[in-house]
Structure 1
Amino acid sequence: MKIGIVSQWYPPEPAFIPASLAEELAARGHEVRVLTGFPNYPVGVIYPGYRQQWNAWSTTGRITTRRVPLYPSHDSSAARRIATYASFAATSSVAAVRYLAGVDALYVYHPPATAFAPAALLRLLYRVPAVLHVQDIWPESVTASPMGPRPRGLVDRALGLAMRQIYRMAHSIAVIAPSMRDLVVERGADPARVRVVLNWADESLFRPVEATEEARREIGYRGRCTVMHAGNIGPFQNICGAIRAAASVERASGVDLVLVGSGIAEGTARTLVADLGATNVRFLGRQEPARMAALYAAADYQLVSLLDLPIFRGTIPSKLQAALSCGSPVVVSAPGDCAGLVERNGVGLSCPPEDWRALADRFVRAASFSPAEHAEMRRRARASYEAHMSKRAGVDELEKMLKAAARGEHR
């Protein structure tokens, strides 16, 4: 087939799903045309080596990529954020009329929802069907943010109406969690056209490796059960709850908590560690992505922690896929489908979000497993990833949806 991919974000930006989909579809014999913007995320500044221009093309094998100009911004200004989304919607729509004419089907990566603009235009002009890949729920993910536009109620209603229209216009919709499917159907999508397709990890970075002494020294491993949180230390991750849980069982269980990454809540987290006198909590700071598989292998469990907010109940955090891809068991304190998936597949332990005492209990239980039980949990983690979350499994489903769209079929 000739397949178009529309995504505002694309490598070298940290958005590997559209790129790995393009590469895998091309490897399967399809001709792929990517329409994206000039890289600027997450700092809101055009990357070095790029200069915005109208005719920016590149071709590698069966993949052709065209970048269109946009207004780059990723600061706290709602107006500038809107300008970024709207400018890409406008320039990509103009470019799509010729660049994507003749494709059999379109794949649209959402967010932002405005990336669907060229798909809507091509549907009107050429009846090109589109598969929408929903990564988060609008309007909640917009209006729940402190940087969201005001007045919140008016924006919520306007975006809600726009999303209903987008869901109806898409030939089919891929969502990343069962609860997200329920929400999308509730908001007007035809149930027959919505399918759960779990995200995959960046398999060039996250894969099983042997634990090394160097990596163990790096994380401060001292022969105790080590739980690692890798990623953003922000207001939504509830790191302070994890610190309280670890501090409460420091002497009783022999559990260490290692925090890899940084974020706006790191200062508060460090202050809490000092106030509690928690000697079993360590900060490693930001690490190169290429180092993460080795650090995962040096720890015993990965922590997935989120606040109990509606925007998280219909999603599965990407760090779960990263952990399971490395064969690492997890401890989950998050709302939604994540906990059920972990318990159902026997790849870790879960507890209700924002309950640090329950999380402390799971830390103790995690430390109680024998080496043989832990090794079996590692095996199940990798097997579960390969069966349900791998790139092969995800692209299989998306390819079926694109073929069905091209044939005008509905499943």
Structure 2
Amino acid sequence: MKIGIISQWYPPEPSSIPANLADGLVARGHDVRVLTGFPNYPDGKIYPGFRQRWGHASRQDGVTVRRVPLYASHDSSPVRRAANYLSFAATSTAAAWQFLADVDAVYVYLTPATVFAAPALLKLLRGVPSVIHVQDLWPESVTQSSMAPSGAIGRSVERALHAVMRRVYRSAAGVAVIAPTMRDMVIERGADPDRTRVVLNWADEDVFRPVPLSPEARRVIGHRDRCTVMYAGAMGPFQNIPTAVRAAASLSERREMDLVLAGSGIEEQAARNLVTELGADNVRFLGRLPMDEMAALYAAADFQLVSLADKPIFRGTVPSKLQAALACGSPVVVSVPGDCATLVETHGVGLASPPDDWRALAERFQHAAKLSVDERAAMARRSLEVYRTQMSRQAGIDQLEDMLIAAAITGGRKR
């Protein structure tokens, strides 16, 4: 088939799902074209070596990639964030009319939801069916963030976005979601149950994989023969870093565990200030590190931390950090509501704590520190097995290809 992929984010940005899917579909004989923006995530600055211009196209490993200009921003300003989302919606829609005119189906990496503008036009004018891969729920991702308007304006925005999302779900030929509870939620909001299935995200397996323990990696994370829990990723308003900091700080005098934070984001400075305020000498910041070093750092730590705020939208999600950890064979401590905690507890791949409860998380940290070497090793083996059987790239691409074929057969398209 001729398959289009529309995603605002694409490598060299840290967005492996659309790229892995493109490569996997090409390997299976499909003609794949990707429509994306110029790389700027997570700093909101265009990457070195790229210059925004119209008509930029390249060929990468058999995949044609068309990049369109956008307003580059990823800070805490609601106006600039909206400009980032809406500018890509506008330019991708303008480009899709010709670039994806003759495809049989389109895969849409649906985050943010504004990415659906181009597929909507293709469906309306060309009859091209789309399969959307829902990564986060709207309007909650907007209305429950710190950037959301309040009062009457906020309520109006929420109502409008609910109406838009109902149309998106109903118009898609297939809806893939990343957690079981999310499936229930999108069906309640208009998705067809017969065309909606759970397709768990997978990790970037070129980066996240089991590697031998490295003394150099232990030096980098500052491992000092204590149970070391590492958080790696963005530090934004939803990641709930203060809860983890408070939990670790409460154990600093016991000298049983260390919390290591790798990454950055708009909440990083606030977290650093909290560490200073609490005098937590068992919390360290590593800053942002190269992706190709992450597997070794995962192996050097004893547990990976997966943390999200206690919001209804996160009860139906499985954060990508979980897949990354399990793909490396790393056991986890999760402070996430809903499906993620259930998965961890059901399969015995780590310890789960209620979100937004630093005392409960501190107890989980203590529990982790008291586990024997053999118990941790057993968790690590189960982690890798669960990833390979339920979350792997192969399993995900199999399902998405099947959905795209079904969409092309039943979705119909104007000729």
1:138 lines up with 2:138 in the alignment: yes
Give the equivalent residue in structure 1 for 2:52: 52
| CA deviation vs aligned residue, 1:82-119 (integer Å, no higher than 9, x gap) | 33333332332232222212211110111122221222
Amino acid at match of 1:209: V
C-alpha change, 1:216 and 1:72, in structure 2 (3 Å) is closer
Distance of 1:8 and 1:295 partners within structure 2: 29
C-alpha change, 1:118 and 1:347, in structure 2 (3 Å) is same
Distance of 1:250 and 1:317 partners within structure 2: 28
Q: TM-score, normalising length from structure 2?
A: 0.92
Residue range with higher mean Cα deviation, 9-18 or 377-386: 9-18
Find the partner of 1:316 among 315, 318, 331.
Answer: 318
| CA deviation vs aligned residue, 1:272-315 (integer Å, no higher than 9, x gap) | 43444433322222222211111111111111122211232221
Deviation at 1:170, TM superposition (A): 0.2
1:86 lines up with 2:78 in the alignment: no
C-alpha change, 1:71 and 1:355, in structure 2 (3 Å) is closer
Deviation at 1:251, TM superposition (A): 4.9
Give the equivalent residue in structure 2 for 1:189: 191
Which portions of structure 1, spanning 4 or more consecutive aligned residues, are displaced by more than 6 angstroms? none
Residue range with higher mean Cα deviation, 393-402 or 148-157: 148-157
Give the equivalent residue in structure 2 for 1:96: 96
C-alpha change, 1:85 and 1:222, in structure 2 (3 Å) is closer
Give the equivalent residue in structure 1 for 2:398: 396
Distance of 1:283 and 1:266 partners within structure 2: 9
Question: Is residue 229–residue 304 contact of structure 2 (8 Å, CA) maintained in 1?
Answer: yes
Distance of 2:370 and 2:40 partners within structure 1: 46
Distance of 1:78 and 1:308 partners within structure 2: 22
Amino acid at match of 2:301: A
Residue range with higher mean Cα deviation, 77-86 or 374-383: 77-86
Deviation at 1:409, TM superposition (A): 7.7
Find the partner of 2:158 among 156, 159, 173.
Answer: 156
C-alpha change, 1:366 and 1:61, in structure 2 (3 Å) is closer
C-alpha change, 1:160 and 1:101, in structure 2 (3 Å) is same
Deviation at 1:28, TM superposition (A): 1.4
Question: Is residue 23–residue 61 contact of structure 2 (8 Å, CA) maintained in 1?
Answer: no
Distance of 2:123 and 2:209 partners within structure 1: 39
Give the equivalent residue in structure 2 for 1:287: 289
Q: TM-score, normalising length from structure 1?
A: 0.93
Question: Quick one: percent identity of the two aligned structures?
Answer: 65
1:376 lines up with 2:372 in the alignment: no
Residue range with higher mean Cα deviation, 227-236 or 300-309: 227-236
Length, aligned pairs only: 410
Q: Which blocks of at least 5 consecutive residues in structure 2 are unaligned? A: none
Deviation at 1:147, TM superposition (A): 2.5
Distance of 1:274 and 1:153 partners within structure 2: 38
Q: Which blocks of at least 5 consecutive residues in structure 1 are unaligned? A: none
Question: Secondary structure of the residue that 1:331 maps to in structure 2?
Answer: strand
